[in-house]
């Protein structure tokens, strides 16, 4: 800092320090902000722009873009695009069914919230699916569902049912993928609840027990209210996870069977913009914008809650 | 404690619980156990239709050996390491600074910048895809590991900043005030006072980010395409194409691809779970 040239006197010290305290936060923020702006903030704005263009992603030899301004046409085309509506409907199914991870996670957490020998290992093994990449989860479940040798059909065969080709049947495929996604997601919610259960006030539990509360009543009136922070986070991460679903669909069905029967917006956007049928960047960006706006509802809600918490402190 | 501790319940329920635990665990991990089972079988078992019976011979070593010698798998694994480790270092370094700036100083726009980081961390990847791919192409970094690393660092900074800022907020302010009264410069306060206290947060974030980045698939397929730069999540599809219908090898390959984050999790379990919950449930 240039101020160091000044004589170090009692009087000069305070302004120098205040000056430093005013500049320091910006210097500390600079690298992070720079990266984040270039790779996150600016691209969001650019995607909005590109969605008003018809563009195959290429430049002319002289370096100018081949994009043609088409106004709202991409959005009008989306309105008449059945694959878009299929994807949107599948997104809704994902969103609703994915929330089952929350009660599922709570159930397993309650089951495992004991102190017996080896329980720590059990907890880790139940959490295990969350640590594996979704690509591997997708592969594992694809084989699990396989109509010729999949374990699910072996089990169905034992009770005289099947075989079903879950991923090859447009009626079941989406549900099969969601079930695969619920596996790691339930594990995630479980760990959130296990941590939450650790923090539950034991005195309140004992007091309620003396009052004769037990089982489901105790859970509903005494335990769950104390687990609210965990439930909130479980809800946030599950909704985000549901809307981000891409890996499993890409690995397990690649959007099929048929035309985009298991597609969601995240997958459809990618397929439109980067598939071998030609790069439609503008159209893809329009889909991304719609997905972004849906997500924005949740982001705004999350920020609003955070804002209230900040002001409340 | 809820539910009632098992030690205080009837003997029958205690025994039921003790047997239920392993059964439930096997059921829960069934799809994974099936893949492990496949990975030790000889290829012949799949052509003769012996999918679930005992392996006609134990080929675990041969299968895994072939994964490492007969394919690009070692290269994919190495790429994953070279993408994941620099990203962890970069994102943690950047967010220590941003978290410090937002957690310690009061200035105009503090909350706004903080919320921008938080919101950015939640956006769908697709809204970034076309411009980021374009930018990477323009910089000549398409299909390189560094192109992927730069993006990952930038994106993870959102989540890491949220995490670090809340952690620093919970530190005793008196420490910083005391250092200021002593006339310690802001940079030295960061380096000698705050950073040593952030060790647990750094460890938790590092494990968490390692898993996130190792398991990333979307950006791997958007920003890379050749074995020279593809991480193992994207490479496994080429691997599977090479060994189409050879389930014993595809299974072994999947297990190999899944092991590093799993090993990381078991080695650093305490930090991992602290990271997952501390970052979220303050």
Question: Do B122 and A310 count as a contact with CB atoms less than 8 A apart?
Answer: no
Question: Do B135 and A269 count as a contact with CB atoms less than 8 A apart?
Answer: no
CA distances from B188 to A22, B183, B185, B201 (A): 16, 10, 5, 19
CA distances from A292 to A134, A181, A271 (A): 22, 21, 17
Q: Quote the CA–CA distance of A126 and A120 in Å, as a whole number.
A: 10
Nearest to A246 among B157, B187, B218 (CB): B218
Using DSSP's 3-state secondary structure scheme, residue B210 falls into: helix
* DSSP designation for B190: I
B78 CB neighbour count, 10 Å cutoff: 14
Q: Quote the CA–CA distance of B132 and B263 in Å, as a whole number.
A: 32
Looking at every residue in chain A, the average pLDDT score rounds to: 85
Question: How high is the pLDDT of residue B87?
Answer: 96
Residue of A nearest to B45 (CA): A149
**Sequence-separated contacts (24+) of A80-84 with Cβ below 8 Å:** A83/A259, A83/A260, A83/A263, A83/A268, A84/A265, A84/A268, A84/A287
Give A273's contacts in chain B (Cβ within 8 Å): 129-130
Q: Quote the CA–CA distance of B98 and A30 in Å, as a whole number.
A: 8
Place of tokens 């090898």: B249
Using DSSP's 3-state secondary structure scheme, residue B193 falls into: helix
Give me the interface pTM, i.e. the ipTM. 0.89
CA distances from B93 to A28, B90, B100, B111, B201 (A): 11, 5, 11, 21, 12
Q: Is B116 in the same domain as B211?
A: yes
pLDDT tens digits for range A232-257 = 889 988 998 999 889 999 999 888 78
Q: Is B88 in the same domain as B37?
A: no
Q: Is residue B64 part of a domain?
A: no
Question: How high is the pLDDT of residue A6?
Answer: 45
Q: Give the pLDDT mean for A139-148.
A: 87
Question: Do A292 and B124 count as a contact with CB atoms less than 8 A apart?
Answer: yes
Residue ranges making up the domain that contains B30: 6-59
Q: Quote the CA–CA distance of B165 and A105 in Å, as a whole number.
A: 28
Closest CA to B143 of B220, B215, B86, B90: B220
Angle at B35 between CA B32 and CA B38, to 5 degrees: 155
Question: How high is the pLDDT of residue A16?
Answer: 63
Q: Is B93 in the same domain as B34?
A: no
- Helix residue ranges per DSSP H, A37-118: 42-50, 73-79, 82-98, 101-112
Interface probe with A: pick from B86, B281, B282, most Cβ of A within 10 Å: B281
Give A196's contacts in chain B (Cβ within 8 Å): 281
Closest CA to A274 of B132, B121, B216: B132
Specify whether the CB–CB gap between A239 and A260 falls below 8 A.
no
Q: Is B47 in the same domain as B106?
A: no
Count of domains for chain B: 2
Range(s) of chain A covered by CATH 1.10.3720.10: 85-263
Give A298's contacts in chain B (Cβ within 8 Å): 122
Tokens representing A234 are: 């479980």
Q: Work out the percent of chain B whose per-residue pLDDT is above 90.
A: 39
Question: How high is the pLDDT of residue A144?
Answer: 87
Q: Is B39 in the same domain as B128?
A: no
* Residues whose CB is less than 8 angstroms from the CB of residue A66 and which lie 6 or more positions away in sequence, other chains included: A55, A56, A58, A59, A60
Tell me the pLDDT band of A277, cut-offs 50, 70 and 90: low
Q: Work out the percent of chain B whose per-residue pLDDT is above 70.
A: 98
pLDDT tens digits for range A22-80 = 888 899 999 999 999 999 999 999 999 999 988 887 777 777 777 788 888 889 988 99
Give B210's contacts in chain A (Cβ within 8 Å): none
Q: How far is A170 from chain B (nearest CA, A)?
A: 22
Place of tokens 């995607």: A47
Question: How high is the pLDDT of residue B278?
Answer: 57
Nearest to B155 among A39, A57, A114 (CB): A39
Q: Is residue B249 part of a domain?
A: yes
Q: Is this structure's pTM higher than 0.95?
A: no
Q: Is B40 in the same domain as B162?
A: no
Q: How far is B242 from chain A (nearest CA, A)?
A: 15
Tell me the pLDDT band of A3, cut-offs 50, 70 and 90: very low
Q: At what angle do helices A281-312 and B126-138 cross, to 10 degrees?
A: 110
Q: A85-263 has which CATH code?
A: 1.10.3720.10
Question: Do B186 and A21 count as a contact with CB atoms less than 8 A apart?
Answer: yes
The CATH number covering residue B242 comes to 1.10.3720.10
Residue A282, classified by CB atoms within 10 Å of its CB into exposed (0-12), middle (13-18) or buried (19+), is buried
Q: How far is A282 from chain B (nearest CA, A)?
A: 9
Question: Do A188 and B30 count as a contact with CB atoms less than 8 A apart?
Answer: no
CA distances from A259 to A38, A85, A87, A254, A256 (A): 36, 12, 10, 10, 6
Q: Is B16 in the same domain as B151?
A: no
pLDDT tops 60 at residue A5: no
* DSSP designation for B191: I
Question: How high is the pLDDT of residue B90?
Answer: 96
Question: How high is the pLDDT of residue A14?
Answer: 54
Q: Is residue B264 part of a domain?
A: yes
- Helix residue ranges per DSSP H, B109-198: 110-122, 126-138, 145-169, 173-181, 186-188, 195-197
Question: How high is the pLDDT of residue A279?
Answer: 84
Angle at B36 between CA B226 and CA A102, to 5 degrees: 85
Q: Is B186 in the same domain as B267?
A: yes
Count CA atoms closer than 13 A to A155's CA, side-chain side: 10
- Helix (H) or strand (E) holding B212, with range, is helix B199-214
Place of tokens 């980010």: B209
Q: How far is A12 from chain B (nearest CA, A)?
A: 12
Q: Is B157 in the same domain as B252?
A: yes
User: Looking at the DSSP assignment, which residues form a beta bridge with residue A54?
Assistant: A68
Q: How far is A262 from chain B (nearest CA, A)?
A: 17
Q: Is B52 in the same domain as B108?
A: no
Q: Is B44 in the same domain as B169?
A: no
Specify which of A50-59, B41-50, B88-97 reaches the highest per-range mean pLDDT.
Answer: B88-97
Q: Is residue B144 part of a domain?
A: yes
Give the max Cα distance, chain B: 79
pLDDT tops 80 at residue B240: yes
Looking at every residue in chain B, the average pLDDT score rounds to: 87
* DSSP designation for B35: H
Give A20's contacts in chain B (Cβ within 8 Å): 185-186
Q: Quote the CA–CA distance of A97 and A107 in Å, as a whole number.
A: 16
Q: Is B46 in the same domain as B87?
A: no
Q: Is residue B65 part of a domain?
A: no
Q: Quote the CA–CA distance of A184 and A179 in Å, as a whole number.
A: 10
* Residues whose CB is less than 8 angstroms from the CB of residue A97 and which lie 6 or more positions away in sequence, other chains included: A175, A178, A182
Specify whether the CB–CB gap between A101 and A238 falls below 8 A.
yes
């Amino acid at each position: 800092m240039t101020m160091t040239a000044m004589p170090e006197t009692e009087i000069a010290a305070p302004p120098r320090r205040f000056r430093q305290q005013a500049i320091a936060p910006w210097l500390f923020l600079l690298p992070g902000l720079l990266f984040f702006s270039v790779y996150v903030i600016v691209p969001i704005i650019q995607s909005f722009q590109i969605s008003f263009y018809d563009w195959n992603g290429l430049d002319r030899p002289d370096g100018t873009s081949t994009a043609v301004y088409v106004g709202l046409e991409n959005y009008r085309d989306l309105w008449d695009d059945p694959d878009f509506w299929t994807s949107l409907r599948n997104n809704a199914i994902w969103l609703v069914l994915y929330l089952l991870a929350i009660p599922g996670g709570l159930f397993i957490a309650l089951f495992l919230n004991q102190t017996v020998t080896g329980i720590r290992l059990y907890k880790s093994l139940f959490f295990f699916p969350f640590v594996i990449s979704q690509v591997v989860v997708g592969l594992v479940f694809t084989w699990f569902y396989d109509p010729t040798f999949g374990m699910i059909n072996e089990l169905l065969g034992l009770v005289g049912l099947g075989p079903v080709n879950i991923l090859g049947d447009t009626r079941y495929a989406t549900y099969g993928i969601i079930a695969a996604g619920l596996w790691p997601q339930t594990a995630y919610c479980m760990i959130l609840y296990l941590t939450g259960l650790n923090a539950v006030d034991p005195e309140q539990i004992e007091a309620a027990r003396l009052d004769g509360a037990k089982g489901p009543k105790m859970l509903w009136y005494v335990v769950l209210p104390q687990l609210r922070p965990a439930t909130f986070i479980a809800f946030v991460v599950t909704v985000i996870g549901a809307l981000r679903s891409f890996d499993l669909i890409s690995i397990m069905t690649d959007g099929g069977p048929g035309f985009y029967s298991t597609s969601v917006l995240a997958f459809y956007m990618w397929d439109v913009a980067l598939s071998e049928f030609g790069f439609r960047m503008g159209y893809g960006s329009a889909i991304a914008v719609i997905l972004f706006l849906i997500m924005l509802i949740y982001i705004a809600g999350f920020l609003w809650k955070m804002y209230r918490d900040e002001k409340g402190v | 404690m809820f539910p009632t501790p098992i030690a205080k319940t009837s003997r029958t329920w205690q025994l039921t619980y003790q047997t239920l635990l392993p059964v439930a665990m096997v059921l829960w991990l069934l799809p994974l156990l099936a893949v492990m089972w496949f990975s030790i079988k000889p290829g012949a078992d799949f052509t003769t239709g012996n999918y679930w019976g005992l392996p006609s011979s134990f080929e675990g070593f041969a299968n895994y050996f072939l994964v490492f010698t007969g394919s690009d798998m070692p290269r994919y694994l190495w790429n994953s390491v070279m993408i994941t480790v620099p990203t962890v270092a970069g994102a943690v370094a950047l967010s220590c600074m941003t978290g410090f700036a937002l957690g310690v100083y009061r200035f105009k726009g503090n909350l706004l910048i903080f919320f921008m980081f938080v919101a950015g961390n939640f956006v769908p990847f697709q809204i970034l895809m076309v411009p980021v791919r374009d930018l990477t192409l323009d910089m000549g970094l398409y299909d390189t590991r560094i192109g992927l690393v730069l993006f990952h660092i930038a994106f993870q900074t959102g989540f890491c900043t949220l995490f670090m800022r809340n952690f620093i907020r919970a530190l005793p302010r008196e420490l910083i005030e005391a250092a200021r009264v002593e006339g310690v410069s802001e940079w030295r306060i960061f380096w000698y006072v705050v950073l040593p206290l952030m060790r647990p947060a750094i460890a938790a974030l590092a494990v968490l980010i390692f898993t996130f980045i190792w398991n990333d698939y979307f950006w791997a397929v958007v920003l890379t395409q050749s074995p020279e730069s593809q991480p193992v999540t994207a490479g496994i599809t080429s691997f599977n194409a090479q060994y189409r219908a050879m389930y014993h090898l595809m299974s072994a390959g999947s297990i190999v691809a899944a092991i590093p984050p799993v090993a990381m999790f078991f080695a650093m379990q305490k930090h991992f779970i602290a990271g997952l919950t501390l970052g979220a449930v303050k």
